[in-house]
Structure 1
C-alpha cells in the first residue's frame, strides 16, 4: 500500500469492466462502450481510434498496431499483427545508390502502408458486439467538435511540431503554432474518413478517394507508393511467444515486434537474485542495464519481418540467456553494444480493456516518431507513419528494406499469465525502451510484490546507445554509484515511457493502474 503522506495514485478497483490508457477521454469512451453493451474489443478500438485525435503526435489512422487478446472464458492469448509493409517498388538498393546509409526519417520512403484500420475493422467484425459504426462514433464526434489539448500532449506537440511538413502544418498547427494546454484541436478531415469507414468498412480507407489522397501526398514527396499497395494491406493473425519469469508467464507479440527482446531480457535477469536487491538501488539498475545491452544487441541482429526472422528460437532459449548473463560483470559496465538498427523514438499509445465476461485486450498503436513522417494527405489530413525508418539498409541483414516487407517494430503489447490463468494485460510505451519496461514491470510485480500502480509509478532507468538514462526518481547517491561502475549517466529530459495495466482477480475484481508520466488514467464501473 502506498504512503498516503506523499502524492501518488491508488489503484482503481471495479468489477464490471476496466480501461487504462494515456488520455482520460479515451478511457471514459471505452467505459461508455462497455456500459452500452460492447465488449472489451469494441471498447479498446473505440478508445484507440479516439487517442489518434487526443494525442495526434503519438498515433493515428495513418499508423500501425499490434494486439494481444484473450477471449471471454479462455486463458488462451491470441495475436493480430496490424503492421504495414513497404511499398512494392521500394528497395534498400535504391536508397543506397542515392547515397543514404539509413532510411531518412521524415521522407516518403519511411512511410509503410498504415494497417491499423484494417486490423480494427477485422477485429470489430470478428470479435466485436456492437458494430463498427457505434465503435467509431465517439472519435467522429470528438474529431468534429474538437478536444482540449492536455498538458503532456501540449509538451510533446511543441517538441515535435518542427517535424510537420507542407499540408500537415495546416492540419496539425493552430495559426502556425503548436496548440497550448486547453486550446481545442479539431480534425474534420479525419472525422469524414472515419464516417466512411464506419459505413463501408476497410475498403473505404484502402481504395478510392481516401487511398488516392494518401498516395498523391506520398508521390508528391518522392514516394513510390501506389493505390495497389494500399488495396493489398492486410492484418494477419500470429502466434504469441512467451517465457516464464519466476511465478509469472510473460506473453508477447511475435516478430516483427520486439517482444522477444523482453523475453530474452527476463531470461537473463532470471540468472540473478534480483529479488534480493534494493528495488531502487544501483545494483539492480546496473544488472538490468547490462542485460539490456545484451538483449538489444541480439534484437538488432535477429528480429525482422516474421518471414525473415530465423533465429527466434535461439533468442528465446534459456541456454542463450545463461551464456549472455555470464558476460555481465556485477562490478563494471561493459561497452555499449552496436547502435540500434532502427531509429529510436518514444511516440506510441497503449490501451488495455477488460470486460465483465473476462475478455482482455492489450493494444498498442503508433505512428512511430513524433508526428510520424510529418507528411499528411492534402484533403483528409491523414498523418502518415514513418515505420519504414525501422528498416536497415545493410545488405543481407534480416531487417533490410525490401518492397512488400514489414520492418522491425518497437511497439509491443504484453499479457501476463499466472498458473495458466490470464491475470494481467499490460503495456509500456516508449519506443526502444519498451522491452526494458516490460521486464522491469514484471520484475516489480513478482520480485518486489508491487501492485500494478506501484509497479508503474516506480522510477526507471534505460541503457540507450552508450548512455544510462536514470529518471529523477532515483537518488543522487544511486547515480553516483552507477557512474563509479563505468556508466555514462544522464537524467533524461523526458520521463521514460508510459505504462498501463489491469490485474484480473480470481474473485472478479479488476485492479487498474495508469502511468502518471502521461495524462491518462484507469477507469472502471
Structure 2
C-alpha cells in the first residue's frame, strides 16, 4: 500500500465562489432564508484517487529519517506489535496480568482470527521462533497440517487448472495447525490458565469490534471472488452468513460480531486442543466436508501433531539470522543474506540502484532453489544445510554482476528438494515471533456449519509433477510461504520480526536486515523505508506469477528515488509500480541499557496495526 497522503484543506472563504458556481444559490441572511449551511466535507474512502498522489508526502518529522512515520514504542517490561490495535491491547493486558509472552501470543492470535479474518484464523497453520531465556537459544515451532488421506493424486490432478491446483474449494484444504501450536506453546511456556487466554477474543466476538479499513476492503474483495461463476467452491452460504450477516458487507468502522466463533473458542477454552482435533469441533468439520463432497475428515484432524525444531542460521556481518526449515521458505531469507554477505553491499548507497540490483539478484538466485528444492522434509529429501552453507553462498554470489542482470538456474544439489505476523516480549526476556495464515486471501472460501472460521487453501502450493520434492501426496505437508523471523547478536536476542505477504516475506525480511545492519536504520524507519518486490522466476511454485519473462518484474514503491528507477531500467530491469504487495512488518528489538532491559516495538504504516510497550 502506498504511504498515506493528505491534501491541505481549502479555506472556506476561498472555496465559497467555487461552491456557488457548482450549486443552486441558496437564500442567505437578509434574503428571507435561514443561514447557509456549508456542504459536508467529502468522506475519505479506501483507494480514493484524490489522496493517492505521488507529489504529496507525509509531514516532516524534526528527528529521524525523512520517510519515518513514527517513533518506536519503548518499554521496560514487555511489548507487543500486531496488525490490529485491539489485538495489541489484548497482548499487553495478558502481560500485565502476569502472563508470559507465549500466553500473550495465544491471546493475540485468537483475537486476530476474529479481528483480521482476511489474514488468519484457526482454519490455518502457524509457525513460531522464540527466544527461550532459560535455555538461552532460539527455538522453532512448526504446526503445519497435512493433506487429507482420502484425497488422491489422481483426484487432485483432475481438479487442476493450468497444471496447478485451484486457489479455492475443498481440494485446497489441509488440516489446520494453529490450535495445536497454541497448545504446544502453552504446555511448555504458559503461565496463566489456558481458559483465560480466550477471554479477550470471546468478548470482542460477542460484544463486537469496529472493522479496520483494510480488513473491510479485503472482506469485500474475497466474498466477491467466492461468488464468481466457476470459483470452484462447493458452497458459499456459510461464508456469507459469517462475514456479511444479513447480506451486509462490513465497512470501515462498522461493528462486526461473530457469535459462532465465540462458541467455538469457548469449546477450545474448556476442552483444550482435543476439542478441535478429536471432539465436538472435529465432528462438525467431518460432517461438513462429507456434506459438500470434500475430503478432510476427523481422522485427519486426530492425526495432526506439530513439531518443535531447531532453526537454521547464517551469520550476516556480526548478526546471526535464524530461519525455519521444515516445509517453509524460511531458508530463502538465509540464502539471500548468505549471498549478500559475499558482496560489498554497504558501499552501495542506501536506496541506490546498485543496492536494489544486488538484493534483487540475490533473490532471483535463492528463489530458483526455493522452487526446485523446498518441500516437506519428512517426506522429501531437502538439502537445506547445503543451501544455507557459506560455500554455496559464495558460489552463487560469483554469478552476480553489478551492471547487468545475470541468467539464473537452480543449483545442483549434492546427491547425499495472505498472512498475519505479530511479536510479543515479556519481563523475563522471552520474545515470540509468530506467523499464522489461511494463505491466499481469506482462505478456501469454506466455513463449516456454525463454527465461524474459514479453512485455509494452503494445498494450492503443492506441485502436481512427478518426482518434484513438493509434489502432491495424501498425508503430506505442502510447501509453506509463512515464516517468522529472528536475529541474535553475540549470543543474545536482538530482533523478533517478520514481514507478511506470500513470496514477499523473505524479500522483506532481507530488506529489514540490510536496512539495519548495512545502513544503520532503527527498527521503525527500517520498516518505513521504501521497498522493492521482485516477481517471477524461471522455476515456479503454485503461487508464483507466470509469463513475466526471463527476468521477471521488479516493483518499486513510490518513495524509491527517480534516479534509482531510471538506472535500474538502464541495467535491464522490467519495472512496475506499487500494487500493495510489499508486505506488512512488525518488530521488537531487545536492548540492554546498563542493567536495564529495554524493548523497542515497531509496526508497519502499510497496515492497520499498532505497537505498544510498557
Q: TM-score range by the shorter chain?
A: over 0.9
1:6 to 1:386, Cα distance in 2 relative to 1, 3 A: closer
**CA RMSD across the alignment:** 1.8
Q: Distance in 2 between matches of 1:335 and 1:177?
A: 51
Residue 497 of structure 1 aligns with which residue? 583
Residue 228 of structure 1 aligns with which residue? 299
2:116 corresponds to 1:45: no
The within-5 A match list for 1:6-405 is 8-97=69-158, 100=161, 101-164=163-226, 165-307=236-378, 308-334=380-406, 347-405=418-476
Q: Deviations over 1:55-105 (max 9, x none)?
A: 101000111100111223443111111111101122333322556521111
Q: Distance in 2 between matches of 1:110 and 1:219?
A: 15
Q: Distance in 2 between matches of 1:104 and 1:408?
A: 15
Residue 516 of structure 1 aligns with which residue? 605
Residue 397 of structure 1: how far off its partner (Å)? 0.7
Does the 8 A contact of 1:392 with 1:400 survive in 2?
yes
The within-5 A match list for 1:345-494 is 347-465=418-536, 466-494=552-580
Does the 8 A contact of 1:163 with 1:371 survive in 2?
no
Q: Distance in 2 between matches of 1:99 and 1:226?
A: 22
Residue 341 of structure 1 aligns with which residue? none
The answer for unaligned runs of 5 or more in structure 2 is 1-61, 227-235, 411-417, 537-551
1:299 to 1:4, Cα distance in 2 relative to 1, 3 A: closer
SS of structure 2 residue aligned to 1:512: strand
SS of structure 2 residue aligned to 1:136: helix
SS of structure 2 residue aligned to 1:474: coil
User: Which of structure 1's runs of 4+ aligned residues deviate more than 6 A?
Assistant: 4-7
Q: Deviations over 1:126-174 (max 9, x none)?
A: 2100021111111111111111011222232233222443311111124
Does the 8 A contact of 1:18 with 1:31 survive in 2?
yes
Q: Deviations over 1:354-400 (max 9, x none)?
A: 10110111110100011100111122122000111121111111111
Residue 5 of structure 1: how far off its partner (Å)? 7.6
SS of structure 2 residue aligned to 1:463: strand
Q: Distance in 2 between matches of 1:284 and 1:231?
A: 49
Q: Distance in 2 between matches of 1:98 and 1:505?
A: 52
SS of structure 2 residue aligned to 1:262: helix
Does the 8 A contact of 1:87 with 1:225 survive in 2?
yes
How many positions carry a matched residue from both structures? 517
Does the 8 A contact of 1:58 with 1:371 survive in 2?
yes
Return the structure number with greater relative CO, CA threshold 8 A, min gap 6: 1
Q: Distance in 2 between matches of 1:296 and 1:216?
A: 40
Residue 215 of structure 1: how far off its partner (Å)? 2.8
The answer for unaligned runs of 5 or more in structure 1 is 339-346
Q: Deviations over 1:210-235 (max 9, x none)?
A: 12322333334432222100111111
SS of structure 2 residue aligned to 1:362: strand
Residue 15 of structure 2 aligns with which residue? none
Q: Distance in 2 between matches of 1:406 and 1:335?
A: 32
Q: Distance in 1 between matches of 2:426 and 2:121?
A: 24
Q: Distance in 1 between matches of 2:575 and 2:472?
A: 34
SS of structure 2 residue aligned to 1:504: strand
SS of structure 2 residue aligned to 1:506: strand
Taking structure 1 as the reference length, the TM-score comes to 0.95
Taking structure 2 as the reference length, the TM-score comes to 0.81
